[in-house]
Chain A
């Protein structure tokens, strides 16, 4: 069974540009979570999608946005990139919210570097 897959593995952008990160959940999972892992800050919750809807977002500015497609894959967009957006972006999936215990299955992440 395939795990959570993320692309690209690495991405280098310059300030002001836009970045798009993609995530495919484990088959049968309908919930997708995005976390930002910046050096020394642990995992900061960005967005939660379930059944195609945005269910919650963390304390990040609106230039962080995303969506979930009918096949439950997801996309994270970061507009007007700033240097401090450099981080590892982790996607995780889980079962539907009604049967969810909060156990997450993570991808290997997309490393975004903003120059």
Chain B
């Protein structure tokens, strides 16, 4: 079984400041890792994913995440946030073989202040 821990339920930050949203996971098998974003009154959208290869993955809107196998972490970072980044962010893991059921963290609410 897998578990995902998002260490911060809420992260307030000022516009143009850097931000890091933390995600740690636990699994006895190899996993695929994902970050999803949920804007108010909407479903979740994939932000970025790690399947294999380079441990640093990037999204088209400036977010990046680094897979750290030894620390079982997949933290999400952005060097300069915008008001429009205000949303709920979810980290998820899926076993890389067998069951294809993603396990989600409880989410981190990123609140960007002007």
Contact = CB atoms under 8 A, between A and B. Distances in A.
B46 A103 contact: yes
A102 B43 contact: no
25 contacts: A33-B101, A35-B104, A42-B90, A42-B104, A42-B105, A42-B106, A42-B107, A43-B44, A45-B101, A56-B101, A90-B44, A92-B44, A101-B32, A101-B49, A102-B34, A102-B93, A102-B94, A102-B102, A103-B32, A103-B46, A106-B36, A106-B44, A106-B45, A108-B42, A109-B43
Interface residues of B, number: 26
Contacts, number: 62
Interface in B80-107: 90, 92-96, 99-107
B94 A101 contact: yes
A48 interface: yes
B51 interface: yes
Interface in B24-51: 32, 34, 36, 41-46, 49, 51
Contacts of B41: 108
A97 B100 CA distance: 7
A108 B45 CA distance: 10
B79 to A, nearest CB: 25
A72 to B, nearest CB: 16
B43 A106 contact: yes
A12 interface: no
Contact of A94 (B51, B92, B99, B100): B100
A13 to B, nearest CB: 20
Contacts of B44: 43, 90, 92, 104, 106
